[in-house]
Amino acid sequence: MRDLELISTDSHLEVPPWMWEPYVEAQFRKYCPKVVQLPNGGDAWAIHGRETPVPLGLNFSAGRGWENLRTTGVSYDEGLVGAGDGVQRLREMDEDGVHAELLFPAVSGQRTLDTGGLPPEAYVAIACGYNDWLSQEYTAVDRERLLGLAILPATCVDDQIAELRRVARLPGIRGVVLHSWPNGGLAPVPEQDDRFWQVAVELDMPLTAHVSFGGGAAAEAAAADRAGLFNFAPMTGMLSKTATRGGPVIQLIQHGTLDRFPELRFFFAETQIGWIPEFKEDADENWRRHRYWSDADWPHPPSWYVDRHFHWGFQVDRFGLKVRHDIGIGNIQWSTDFPHVQCDWPHSRKIVEDQFADVPEDEARQILRDNAREYFKLDRPRWT
């Protein structure tokens, strides 16, 4: 275990936006997030169209100790762990005993951009600029260890497809992060979304989401009402149990996406894993009872799709490891969540050794390294 290369499949680039803003087309830089100082001396991101800036807070918890965590009052001037360039990041990874990281964007980034009233062309420019910086500058320090996840503009399906095709050719990009449905909205629109899924399959591009994407049952109910279509929302809620984790999974199943595109795979980061066996059993039981009246007469039960199409990320989940065979050893990926509050930097390796103490070495290796290497295709460059 001490010699095993650990790959974190959920780490974050909580760097100040001024690092990547120069890569955004000049006329749209005014729309980029800006760092502002709060009255208490802490820093926050001011995002276009949002009245309240987003404090740095718990996004910088690494190494502070639980007793010193703060939701505000944190400043980049402190020389924050996790806020530097690629060279600094490699030093921090070495100190933590982590070999490589899949790099999600800052949580104050893509997740908040689309709620700030950005003009669509500005959103596209910011996404392109961030992805270019990620490819050309940050991951270029060491493309074997710093593994970039590109953001997609939540504007429309054409914009998302265009950026998907573009980043597939960029060095250092190992996958894309879904925040909205491919159509740009919070609810699925299969006749639009299918165009995106088809391109993703053709490009063999790894798809990820941080916890979830879309707006769940409520958004689907509203969309169905507007379109005068069958409302799947009750079934989404009934079969998913928790919309923030299982919602898009059930939606992908019930809209037939996974039957039309059997090659599709999804990685949901930071979901934890102990809930998944119960989720599968409960979804199957509800489907058995309600499949006919609800227009959900799918070819297979929900668990069949879950086992074949979805990977799940966790940091510390000792119970989840106990039921790992009920989840599927090949569907579990470990992460640190660095530098967020869920991380244990610089003691990740010690925490790993503790929670994997009763896991056979071959299974531990699969969860801690090999599943990530396979899912994100790390044994071959994405840009060739």
Going by C-beta distance under 8 Å and a sequence separation of 6 or more, which residues neighbour residue 188?
A: 181, 214, 220, 251, 252, 255, 257
> What pLDDT score was predicted for residue 384?
45
Element (H, E) at 287: helix 276-290
Inter-helix orientation angle 276-290/233-240, to 10°: 140
State the Cα–Cα distance between residues 75 and 52, nearest whole angstrom.
17
Q: Treating both helix axes as pointing N-terminal to C-terminal, what angle do 243-254 and 216-227 enclose, rounded to 10 degrees?
A: 40
Q: Is 34 helix (H, G, I), strand (E, B) or coil?
A: strand
Question: Would you say 35 and 43 are in contact if contact means Cβ atoms under 8 Å apart?
Answer: yes
Domain residues of the chain, as ranges?
7-375
Number of Cβ within 10 Å of residue 380's Cβ equals 8
Are 41 and 75 contacting, i.e. CB atoms less than 8 angstroms apart? yes
Instruction: Return the pLDDT at 112.
Output: 58
CA dihedral sign, ordered 233, 123, 376, 258: positive
- Check residue 247 and give its pLDDT: 81
Residue pLDDT tens, the chain, 384 long = 667 899 999 999 999 999 999 999 999 999 999 999 999 999 999 988 888 899 999 999 999 998 999 899 999 999 999 999 999 999 999 999 999 999 999 976 655 566 567 899 999 999 999 999 999 999 999 999 999 999 999 999 999 999 999 999 999 999 999 999 999 988 899 999 999 999 999 999 999 999 888 866 666 656 656 655 555 555 555 555 554 567 889 889 989 999 999 999 999 999 999 999 999 998 899 899 888 887 788 899 999 999 999 999 999 999 999 999 999 999 999 999 999 999 999 999 999 999 999 999 999 999 999 999 999 999 877 654
**Distance, first Cα to last Cα, the chain:** 33
What is the gyration radius of the CA atoms in the chain, in angstroms?
20
Topology of the domain comprising 7-375:
TIM Barrel (3.20.20)
The whole-number pLDDT of residue 286 equals 87
What is the rounded distance in angstroms from the CA atom of residue 238 to the CA atom of residue 34?
Answer: 41
DSSP code at position 275: T
- Phi-psi category of residue 356: left, alpha or beta, with phi > 0 → left and psi -120 to 50 → alpha: alpha
